[in-house]
Structure formats: C-alpha cells, structure tokens
Structure 1
C-alpha cells in the first residue's frame, strides 16, 4: 500500500449537496487491516447510489463493531472480514447480527483473504448478501456489489413500511 499514490483533483471542491446535508448511506467497514479501510474508502470515494454518497464507519474488531452497531440506526451495509481477533470472529459477528431482529434490513458483504477458515461454506446458514475474496475483487466489482447490497437494503426497508 505504501507504494501507491492516489491523486484526487477535486480535493478542494465543494462536497455534493447530499454530502453537505449528511444524507449518505452508512457503511460499516469491519476489518483488522487498516489498509483495507483506506483502500475501500479510496475505491468508493466518488461512488453514489441513488444520488447519495457513502458515509464510512470503521471498526477493527468484531467486539468494537458490536459496541458500535446500536449507535448506527441508519446503517445500510456492513463490509465484514472473517479473521480478526480470531479465525471465526467475523462468522460469529454475522450470526449475532442476524439473530437481532432490528438489524434484519442491514446487508452484509463478507470480504476475506483467509481461504483456510471455511470460506463461503462457513456462511452457508447465515443470510448474507455476498461473499468475496479480497484478492479477486477490483474497484468495479466492489461498486457493483455495494450497489446491489444497497438496492437490497432499500427493497427490504420498503417491504417493511
């Protein structure tokens, strides 16, 4: 990551109106690797869904995420790592989230680099939106998955209204 340099010509530009009024999609990134947080935010910096930007909340452990979850009433999407405090931290957290009815509309996308810890089979009985390998996903794929997850969140929210 240290070898990469990203230049944004619009750093000094005014934020879009949706950003200025705080109407972004809340995305919780749960991963123990700070580089994953940085790359995710760089890759999705200009991404918009239904004209609204993403608002990132960062957690580095499953324990930290469990403490933060109740403070995010507008949470739409979780980008979740598997291996953090231990080999099954992400799997346990996903089960906990899905066992909590108020979190049923939140979409979970599992992103992992840990191939030896059950892979997608570990999530076969947990309702998640997607499971992806970090080393196989590029910016366009990430944008597509995030858009799909946010559309699913909107559909679930509309269905319960």
Structure 2
C-alpha cells in the first residue's frame, strides 16, 4: 500500500495517473490518500501495512510533512515504511538536513519529478520495504531458535537426563 499525503488535489490526481499501472509481487499497488497531516497520522495508525509514504512537506504549516515523518518514526516506532518526501519548496526543507534528521528514505523535488522517476522511486521503496520486513521475520525466527537452544542448555533441563537412561530408552524402542 502506498499512502499519498498532500494538500493539493492535483498532486493526488497526477500521482494516481502516474502509478495507475504499478504492480508489485503480482498485484496492483493500492493507493490511499490523505490531504492533511492529521489524516496521514490517522491513516498510518489504522494501516500499519503501509509500505511507502509519498509525503509533502508544506501543508497546514511549513513543516507538517516533517512532523508526520517524526510521528511515524518516533511515536509509531515504524522503521519499515519507506518515506519519500516530495516538496515544491526545497528551501524550506533542505535535502541533506531532512533526510538525516527525519529518517527520510528519498527526497523528490516536485519541479524535477517525472512520472518515470516517481515510478522508479516507488518501486525501489516497495522492494526495500519487503526486504526489511523479510529481515525482521528472519531475525525473529533466529531469536526463537536462540532462545530454544538457551533453554536446552540450562542445567535444570538436563538434570534428570543421564546417559544410561538413553540406552534404556533405546532398548525399549526396539522391536
């Protein structure tokens, strides 16, 4: 799912036209719209599976989009969603500063944005999101295996097990 956050209706229309045929993993990409920072926060709370956010900087205030980014990363603790910042006023949000300070994954000045570049950036962000989710899943599996091995290695687990018991068990299981 891709969340489009912008206060300009034309930006939503153009983005939908540009991404209308975008598919990922065999399915069309679902596009959801928010027209304010408040709507974006609400949408992110209700849809934790949002993979990419196309986020305008200037909406209700000069830094509404940056506030949304901070909300996603800090309050929701969502480090997986890829945030692509779009701005029509690059001077109000200098690229190097916002990418670092707000954990932005891509910076797209609207004046330089083409349909082809948008598609490429969103496709790349979707792949990165999938890889992060997959890595987290594998990390959890390894954590479970590690915990199981640690439990097996505790003294209390092996106290009642003796090697001569193993021989007795084998003898009982033979035909």
TM range (shorter): 0.7 to 0.9
Q: Partner of 2:116 in structure 1?
A: 140
How many angstroms apart in 2 are the aligned matches of 1:78 and 1:40?
A: 12
Match of 2:58 among 67, 83, 89: 83
How many angstroms apart in 2 are the aligned matches of 1:118 and 1:102?
A: 23
Aligned-pair CA distance for 1:66: 1.0
Aligned-pair CA distance for 1:108: 0.4
Q: How does 1:29-108 map to 2 (within 5 A)?
A: 29-100=4-75, 102-108=77-83
| Residue-pair matches, total | 136
TM-score of the two chains, using structure 2 as the length reference: 0.74
Aligned-pair CA distance for 1:102: 4.5
Match of 1:130 among 106, 109, 115: 106
Q: Show structure 1 runs of 4+ deviating over 3 A.
A: none
How many angstroms apart in 1 are the aligned matches of 2:24 and 2:10?
A: 24
Aligned-pair CA distance for 1:73: 2.7
Higher strand share: 1
Aligned-pair CA distance for 1:146: 0.5
How many angstroms apart in 1 are the aligned matches of 2:10 and 2:76?
A: 32
Higher helix share: 2
How large is the Cα RMSD of the aligned pairs?
1.3
How many angstroms apart in 2 are the aligned matches of 1:159 and 1:122?
A: 26
Q: Partner of 1:22 in structure 2?
A: none
Aligned-pair CA distance for 1:149: 0.3
Does the Cα contact within 8 Å between 1:83 and 1:112 map onto a contact in 2?
Answer: yes
TM-score of the two chains, using structure 1 as the length reference: 0.80
- Per-residue CA deviation, residues 15-61 of structure 1 (Å, 9 max, x unaligned), is xxxxxxxxxxx111000000000000001101112222111111111
Does the Cα contact within 8 Å between 1:91 and 1:123 map onto a contact in 2?
Answer: no
